Amino acid sequence: MQDGRHRVRAGLPPIATEVTDAAYCFPTVTTPNTLPVRLLCAGREQCMPTYHVSRSEYPCVIVEFVFGGKGRLRIGETMHDLYPGVLFSYGMNAPHDLWADDADPMNKFFAIYTCEDSTKLDELGCIHPGQVRCSLDISGIRVLFDHLIDEGKGSGPVQGMLSNQYLQLILLKSAVAASVDPEDSAGNGGLASYEKAVAHIGNHYTEISSLADLAAAVELSPAYLCRLFRRFSKETPHQCLVRHKMNRAAELLMSQAMNVGEVAAAVGYQDTFHFSRLFKKRFGDSPKNFCKNISAGKTKPSMLQTNQK
């Protein structure tokens, strides 16, 4: 990606005026951190029904996040529906149009930045210009943008570094968001069905023992459920279920006077050996050694990994 900092700082490209309840920041100090990005401007906007931005080029990169309402995005020749949870990126001389829905105009955040070397972003799978993704963690990303704007309004070097770090966190969050097919629409039910399945796992994981159990509970076929997880998640339904069970098992081992067999039964496993194998696969140690090592302060790095397999 080209470095457009000099052109941008000499005069930022015009920010849309068809907005209300807006807040902006223009950090004066940015420094290199984990990712090769430099934050130039960020903001929160409530779009008016007449909101429309049309550009044939843009000297830097923008990442935007819709947290309310609806809209439409055209990047090149491709159209996308916008709705809460959608992250999208454009810029670097790519033609684009952005409209708000007449009846339900969108609320959104944006961050304008430059990138000297996109290699690291690509390796991590972060969103890049031309991509549209969907995140279920709407509240989490909202918090990151709010903090970014608050810190970006500061005047010291620490505030500049913090705002840049929040941008990096937002880009990293985009790496775990699901890709959105251009033919998808906000009302197709796929995302709602996926969210229903994830919520059911979170609330009833001790009662679910198989994919068939989960599919029956949320009134979907096992095959369709697997397709939804491939589309909206980085893990399978089984991996999601096991992750919840193992996390709860670790909590019980650390906080309750329960043996391994009792913990296994509490999270839905009658076979203690099978439970122990799954536990070791996730945390890198057996349930017994996990508890001993935590108590002795000898936790292995592998025990703290977020392996979802």
Q: What are the angstrom distances between the C-alpha of 29 and each of 120, 154, 163, 164?
A: 22, 9, 9, 9
| pLDDT band at residue 301 under the 50/70/90 scheme | very low
- Residue percentage of the chain with pLDDT more than 90: 52
Quick one: average pLDDT of 286-303? 67
Residues counted in the chain: 309
Tell me how far the alpha carbon of residue 79 is from its chain's centroid. 22
Extract the tokens encoding 111.
């961050």
For residue 149, the model assigns a pLDDT of 96
pLDDT over 60 (residue 164): yes
Extract the tokens encoding 256.
């309750």
Extract the tokens encoding 70.
């609806």
Minimal CA–CA distance to 159: which of 25, 304, 297, 22?
25
Quick one: average pLDDT of 260-280? 94
Q: Find out whether 123 and 71 touch, Cβ atoms under 8 Å.
A: no
At 169-194, the pLDDT tens digits run 999 999 988 877 655 544 455 778 88
At 121-141, the pLDDT tens digits run 788 889 988 899 988 889 999
Side-chain-side CA neighbours of 6 within 13 Å: the count stands at 2
pLDDT over 80 (residue 94): no
92 Rama class: left (phi>0) / alpha (psi -120 to 50) / beta: left
| pLDDT band at residue 36 under the 50/70/90 scheme | confident
* Alpha carbon distance 40, 19 (integer Å): 20
| pLDDT band at residue 76 under the 50/70/90 scheme | confident
At 41-67, the pLDDT tens digits run 999 999 999 999 988 877 789 999 999
Q: Helices 237-255 and 272-283 meet at what angle, rounded to 10?
A: 100
For residue 8, the model assigns a pLDDT of 36
Contacts of 290 (CB under 8 A, 6+ apart): 250, 253, 279, 283, 303
For residue 5, the model assigns a pLDDT of 32
| pLDDT band at residue 251 under the 50/70/90 scheme | very high
For residue 56, the model assigns a pLDDT of 80
Q: Give every strand in the sheet of 178-179, ordered side by side.
A: 19-25, 37-47, 107-115, 61-68, 86-91, 132-134, 178-179
For residue 6, the model assigns a pLDDT of 33
Contacts of 160 (CB under 8 A, 6+ apart): 27, 28, 29, 30, 31, 151, 152, 154
pLDDT over 70 (residue 74): yes
At 234-246, the pLDDT tens digits run 789 999 999 999 9
For every residue of 88-108, DSSP letters joined together read EEEETT--EEEEE-SSSBPEE
Burial 73-87 (b: 16+ CB within 10 A, else e): bebeeeebbbbbbbb
Q: What is the pTM of this model?
A: 0.73
